[in-house]
Amino acid sequence: MICRWRSVLLVAILTLGLWLGSLSVQAAAGLPRELQQLEQQVERLQSLVEAEDWLEIRSYIHGPMGLTRKTLTGLAATLPDKQKREVLRLAKEMGRSLEQLDFAAKAYDQPEVEAAQAKVKKTLQALEAVFS
């Protein structure tokens, strides 16, 4: 009888552990695909900023991140009005931050590049908060 209770308790603990371990995965999985891609792009951009790779920063902004504002606007169209307005506002803010980053990289201005990158990250966090 005691052996059976141990088995039941062990299964319950394992189930609880697996469930708790999957919570962070579910949070990330709850983000739209477009936002997950943007998150990866911002991480890549951060590595370029840290490397002070001015030309590649500008190329990345105009290349893979060139459609960011359009992508976010398309995502906003699928949302209820309150979220839609917030995502559109943040899409504009993201666009302005990327423009600032582009101009700062063009001028080889590391402090300004870092400030603009911080704004990009902050905007991304605000976008993620809308969907959490």
Domain co-membership, 52 together with 4: no
Go through the chain and tell me how many residues it has: 132
Same domain, 8 and 69: no
Give the pLDDT of residue 27. 45
Alpha helix (H) residue ranges in the chain: 2-29, 33-50, 54-62, 68-76, 81-106, 110-130
Does residue 22 carry a pLDDT above 60? no
State whether 64 and 120 are in the same domain. Answer: yes
Our count of domains for the chain comes to 2
Task: Residue 75: give the domain boundaries.
Answer: 31-130
Q: Please tell me the distance from the alpha carbon of residue 96 to that of residue 90, in angstroms, as a whole number.
A: 10
Examine the domain organization and report whether 18 and 56 are in the same domain: no
Pair (64, 103) in one structural domain: yes
Residues 90 and 50 reside in one and the same domain: yes
pLDDT the model gives residue 25: 42
**Alpha-carbon distance 121 to 39, whole Å?**
9
**What pLDDT score was predicted for residue 117?**
96
Same-domain status, 23 and 42: no
Model pLDDT for residues 105-129, shown as the tens digit of each residue: 999 999 999 999 999 999 999 999 9
pTM of the model: 0.75
Residues 84, 126: one domain? yes
